[in-house]
Amino acid sequence: MNRWFLLFIPLILFCFLASKPLWGQEDEEEYPQEPIIFTKPVKAVIFDHKFHVEEAGLSCEDCHEDVFEMATGTAEENEDFNMEALYNGKYCGACHDGESAFASDKKCTTCHIGVLGWQRLKRQERKTSH
Amino acid sequence: MDLKKFGKWLASLKNEGVDTIPLEERRSFLKMGLKVTGVFAGGTILSVASKLEKAQAIPPAYVGTFPYKPHYAMVLITDRCVDCELCMEACVRTNHVPPYGWRTRIFERKIKGPEGYVRQFMPVLCNQCNIPPCVRVCPTKATVKDPKTGIVKMIPKKCIGCKTCMTACPYDMRYFNEERRAVDKCDFCWESRLSKGGKITACAEACPAGVRIFGDLADPKSKVYQIVYDPARVIWVLRPETGAKPNVFYTIEGLG
């Protein structure tokens, strides 16, 4: 019994080390690495910080705190967090107006990954966390 | 070759089963009104049993009048679909669909667009075919094409659970309901809504993106009619090669 337990200790230690490097991370983590998934009012919309920072070249101040508050889930609590508001230039619609970025009423499935896409992401997450 | 010899030769042929016969040949053979008995000699099916009278009944008796009045149909504007699955949730609530079953589903595919691959969701439900393969195969007539509305319905008490219809359905839109001990399927909400005076299916009502357009294809004023008969619009059906002649149509809005 005890011997088996001892065998597991290095394994657990290894898992810790592999998932969480102890140094060299502080200056890189400027934005959330995991994509944000909105599930209200419809399932499910993806927002990837990585793409918007690295590909679109946005800085934190471009959206925070005017367009979106810097806490996950705050926009979803609002009554007007829907497509109508986006067409009126609120939330994502601030840029997704057809000029700065593609219009909110086009390319629906670029952001709307749906329940299927959401489930797939969850499956991937489960795989990588094990 | 006299008839006796021919009979002997026929009997000596190995039965190769009906699985190996190419679909095209099988179909043209069935069209001739002959039964596929499993004798398959040198690429040509042989059969002496005729069922000509059955094959000549075109359209099949179970199809009823055409077009129906009202001729219920649905148009799915697929590129509006964002797979929020509110339609599926509404369907489950309205028709008491168990968690292992489905009356409608949403599939996902990646199609090549001008800027790389784009995701497209595709809702699928019973196509309420005009020539429904499921009705044709049912041994107990537990599934019928309603002669008035054209809706393909289930009569659960007649169903023996052989699941032949599930195999026959080109759209995989039938499942076996363990509680009812019968196959269950979409009936355009006939039981739950339309027969009680409802005008629209639960899924069409629940859709926030206006993907599912439900209506009467025989009525020129209905939205379904205007979309399906719009010459400027590309309309398609799923798996047309099965010859089932669906009443569920697909189109896109061009939101790419």
| pLDDT tens, residue by residue, B225-247 | 899 888 888 889 999 888 888 89
- Residue B122's nearest CA partner among A116, A106, A38 is A116
Task: Check pLDDT > 50 for residue A51.
Answer: yes
Handedness of CA B96, B102, B105, B108 (dihedral sign): positive
Q: Position of tokens 């169903």?
A: B159
When pLDDT is averaged across residues B182-196 and rounded to a whole number, the result is 94
**CA of B84: which chain A residue's CA is closest?**
A43
Half-sphere exposure of B88 (CA within 13 A, CB side): 22
List the single residue in B85, B118, B120 with the smallest CB-CB distance to A115: B85
A115 contacts B119? CB cut-off 8 A: no
Work out the pLDDT band at B188, boundaries 50, 70, 90.
very high
The DSSP bridge pattern shows strands B212-216 and B72-77 to be: antiparallel
Q: What is the dotted CATH code of the domain comprising A30-129? A: 3.90.10.10
Q: Which residues lie closer than 8 Å to B112 by C-beta, 6 or more apart?
A: B118
| pLDDT tens, residue by residue, A26-47 | 445 578 888 999 998 899 899 9
When pLDDT is averaged across residues A81-86 and rounded to a whole number, the result is 92
Q: Which residues of B touch A41 (CB under 8 A)?
A: 208
Does A109 touch chain B if contact means CB atoms closer than 8 Å?
yes
Cβ contact A100:A92 at 8 Å: no
Task: Check pLDDT > 70 for residue B76.
Answer: yes
Which is higher by pLDDT, B17 or B228?
B228
Q: Most confidently modeled of B4-8, B20-24, B146-150? A: B146-150
Buried b or exposed e, range B213-250, using 16+ CB within 10 angstroms: bbbbbbeeebebbebbeeeebeeeebeeebebbbbbbb
Q: Which residues of B touch A107 (CB under 8 A)?
A: 118, 255-256
Q: What is the dotted CATH code of the domain comprising B62-256? A: 3.30.70.20
- Listed in order, the ranges of chain B carrying CATH 3.30.70.20 are 62-256
| pLDDT tens, residue by residue, B20-60 | 666 666 666 565 655 555 444 444 444 444 444 344 334 44
Q: How far A42 CA sits from the closest chain B CA (Å)?
A: 6
Q: Position of tokens 């190996």?
A: B20
Q: ipTM more than 0.90?
A: no
Task: Check pLDDT > 90 for residue A85.
Answer: yes
Cα separation values, A33 from A51, A62, A102, B89, B188, Å: 10, 18, 23, 32, 44
Q: How far A69 CA sits from the closest chain B CA (Å)?
A: 25
SS (H, E, C) B52-90: HHHHHCCCCHHHCCCCCCCCEEEEEEHHHCCCCCHHHHH
- Residue B217's nearest CA partner among B62, B66, B63, B77 is B66
